[in-house]
Amino acid sequence: MKKFTYLFVISVLMFGTQSCKKKGCMDSSAANYNDEAKKDDGTCVYTPIITLVGAADTTISVATEWADPGATAANLDGAIVAVMDNSTVDASEVGVYTITYTATNDNGTTTVIRTVNVVVNQDSWLGDWSVSDNCGGGTGLALNGSPNIIAGGNEEQILITEFLSGVTGSYGTAICQIDGDAITIAPASDGAPGGLGDINYSGFGTMNSNGLSFTITYTWQNTTPITGGSGTCSATYSK
């Protein structure tokens, strides 16, 4: 009899312990997740699932056209949910921008963010440019007023073609190293107009944050007899 009573008491205590376990949603991804619940009661509900089209972290060249690829959203049962977006992206200015996507159903709102990095990279330097300078023309560093820039041998190199201006037209290529918005031209040499001397030059500069102009400070020496010389000058390249 005592043994029966003991087993009965243990059974009651175990049943009571089980009954006292707090119930609730135990899925941490649910809108109504209960971190105190010890037993899932099947009441979990969910906000919409947002899927980005394209990468969540995107890098684009400044001063280029870019279209937001957008996002889609659906409920757990597959029903489509409308997505609202709020963008701060300004592709005309270097910076880090965000696009915030939101989707809402009866259970709440989901938010996903895309980061867009607008940068100066090799693509920003390429193309046709016009030049304004104080470099002295034929007796100094005779820069061509409308050079073309093309890609070099790697992503950190560009080539300013039709670099100099001579009596018979433009000529020469300047080999430039770039690092983001910075440009460096190592010491180099080309023939002076008329073929009577050489033009030695080097330079460094920076591109503006809008990607539409950059300025190079040149150090030069023109070895043409009598009319030659040396000095420093500034040239602004604009699109």
- For the segment 124-147, what is each residue's pLDDT rounded down to a tens digit? 999 999 999 999 887 789 999 999
What token pair was written down for 141? Answer: 């560093």
* Region of poorest pLDDT, from 15-29, 87-101, 131-145: 15-29
Q: How confident is the model at residue 20 (pLDDT cuts 50, 70, 90)?
A: low
Average predicted confidence (pLDDT) for the chain: 90
Of residues 204 and 9, the one with the higher pLDDT is 204
Strand partners, 173: 161
pLDDT of residue 6: 43
Give CA–CA dist 204/132, Å, rounded.
16
Q: What is the pTM of this model?
A: 0.81
What's the rounded mean pLDDT across residues 196-207? Answer: 95
Q: Where in the chain is the domain with CATH 2.40.128?
A: 122-238
**Strand 127-128 with 157-166, pairing:** unpaired
Q: What percent of the chain has pLDDT over 90?
A: 76
Q: Give the angle subtended at the CA of 170 by the CAs of 165 and 175, to the nearest 5°.
A: 90
Q: Where in the chain is the domain with CATH 2.60.40.10?
A: 34-119
Dihedral angle sign, alpha carbons of residues 144, 146, 152, 154:
positive
DSSP character for 159? E
Of residues 192 and 9, the one with the higher pLDDT is 192
DSSP character for 36? T
Residue 4 has pLDDT above 70, yes or no: no
What's the rounded mean pLDDT across residues 51-60? Answer: 98
Q: Does domain 122-238 have CATH number 2.40.128?
A: yes
User: 34-119 has which CATH code?
Assistant: 2.60.40.10
Q: How confident is the model at residue 1 (pLDDT cuts 50, 70, 90)?
A: very low
Give CA–CA dist 8/144, Å, rounded.
102
pLDDT of residue 101: 99
Q: Which residues lie closer than 8 Å to 202 by C-beta, 6 or more apart?
A: 185, 186, 187, 188, 218, 219
